[in-house]
Amino acid sequence: MGRVQGKTALVTGGASGIGLSSASLLAKEGAKVVIADFNAEGAKAAAENIRKQGGEAAGIFLDASHANSIEEAVNFTVSHFGSIDVLFNNVGVTNLQKDLDIVHIDLDEWDRLMNVNLKSVLLGCRYAIPHMQKAGGGSIINTASMAGFTGDSIRSAYGASKAGVVNLTKYIAAQYGKDKIRCNGVAPGLILTPAAEKNIPPSVLEIFAKYNALPYHGEADDIGNTVLFLASEESKFITGQTIQVEGGHYIANPSMADFNLMAQGK
């Protein structure tokens, strides 16, 4: 207990899934948490649940496609709790119907994903860093994705935006490290959030399981615990890194899974 005691954290996209897990774990370990989400009612409900468990939290509306909304979320955090020590830029969107291969991608969708997935990270940092400088430091954590390290048949804009998050993380770390501001990323693989469990067919989950090095899928708390570590002083000498939390899905030659089946006589 108390791994982030006395810190204030702003978690964007915190009403569900990875964001909710991270906000809950941060609060459990002593942080005062602002949960900002487009689903304002969900953010407020999540904050209320934290308060019922003895934590300190507030839920607010956030539209990550608009700079003024991001600035307002940062300013609310500082005015409500007195500081912003941790910023978790977690908002992200995807669209499997419009974000296609390079020839067929909807160009408006490209612009939307770059704005929400990448520019919102820049803006969150732009507004939070001056407060962190005045306070003598802070920790910024950005949600990237394994899509930022690999190629795919679709989701070209999503992958490019997340690759941008990985590199922007390094730039922020390099530019503000002397101010004792750390910036790191977390790159999830397939994570079984409630939304993923609802929308991903069992046949697709089987394909992912085949190529995981570990014999199970990830859960939201696997990312939340990584965020908690990066927010805490336990990671005080780590910056500019993106931690891949993906069950070993991408570490081996892709034929390895078939070789394993062959060895098992399957």
The residues that are catalytic are 158
The full DSSP string for 188-204 is E-SB--HHHHHHS-HHH
Q: Are 20 and 46 in contact (CB under 8 A)?
A: yes
Task: Fill in the amino acid letter for 118.
Answer: L
Q: Which residues contact 158 (CB under 8 A, 6 or more apart)?
A: 94, 99, 113, 117, 145, 147
For strands 242-245 and 32-37, give the pairing. unpaired
Instruction: List Cα–Cα distances, 32 to 16, 77, 235, in angstroms.
Output: 18, 9, 19
| Among the listed residues 21, 17, 23, 19, the one whose alpha carbon sits nearest the alpha carbon of residue 8 | 23
